[in-house]
Every structure is written in structure tokens, then in C-alpha cells.
């Protein structure tokens, strides 16, 4: 039996961290947007937007972690 963790389980575990990273990056992007005359993004807006955007980021993190685990096992 294959005892490797599937990518979806890794992504589920990493979702909180990935969504948090997305929120921080969006907030910083909103601050940079002020230099171009765009309105600033509020912290609440960035957190709400990061909830769905955290899913692909968590999946990418899960793929990366699975790759590193495979390298460590071989």
C-alpha cells in the first residue's frame, strides 16, 4: 500500500498559510497601487478576496511539498 500523503491532503493542511500569504501580498499590492492613483485595499477586503484565491495557492504549495517529500524519500 502506498503510504504517501496525497496532494489534496497536503493542500488542505497548507490552506491557512497559503491564504494568509495571499492576503498579505494583496494588501501590499494595494499599497503599491496607491502610487498609481488606485484606492487602497482594506485589510477586510484582502482577507475576503484571499479566501477563494488561497485554494490554488494551497494546491501549488501541496504540489511543491509532495515533490520535496518524494525527493527526500529517494
> Tens digit of pLDDT for each residue in 12-71?
999 999 999 999 999 999 999 999 999 999 999 999 999 999 999 999 999 999 999 999
Report angle CA 14, 8, 70 to the nearest 5 degrees.
85
Is 12 inside any structural domain? Answer: yes
Assign 72 to helix, strand or coil: helix
Cβ–Cβ < 8 Å for 61, 10: yes
> What residues make up the domain containing 14?
7-69
What pLDDT, on the 0 to 100 scale, is given for residue 27? 96
Task: Assess whether pLDDT exceeds 60 at residue 1.
Answer: no
- pLDDT of amino acid 74: 85
Q: Model pTM?
A: 0.87
For the chain, the domain total comes to 1
Residue 2 maps to a domain? no
Amino acid at each position: 500500500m502506498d503510504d504517501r500523503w496525497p496532494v489534496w491532503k497536503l493542500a488542505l493542511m497548507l490552506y491557512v498559510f497559503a491564504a494568509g500569504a495571499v492576503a498579505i501580498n494583496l494588501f501590499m499590492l494595494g499599497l503599491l497601487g496607491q502610487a498609481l492613483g488606485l484606492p487602497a485595499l482594506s485589510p477586510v477586503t484582502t482577507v475576503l478576496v484571499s479566501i477563494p484565491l488561497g485554494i490554488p495557492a494551497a494546491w501549488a504549495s501541496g504540489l511543491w511539498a509532495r515533490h520535496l517529500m518524494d525527493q527526500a524519500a529517494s
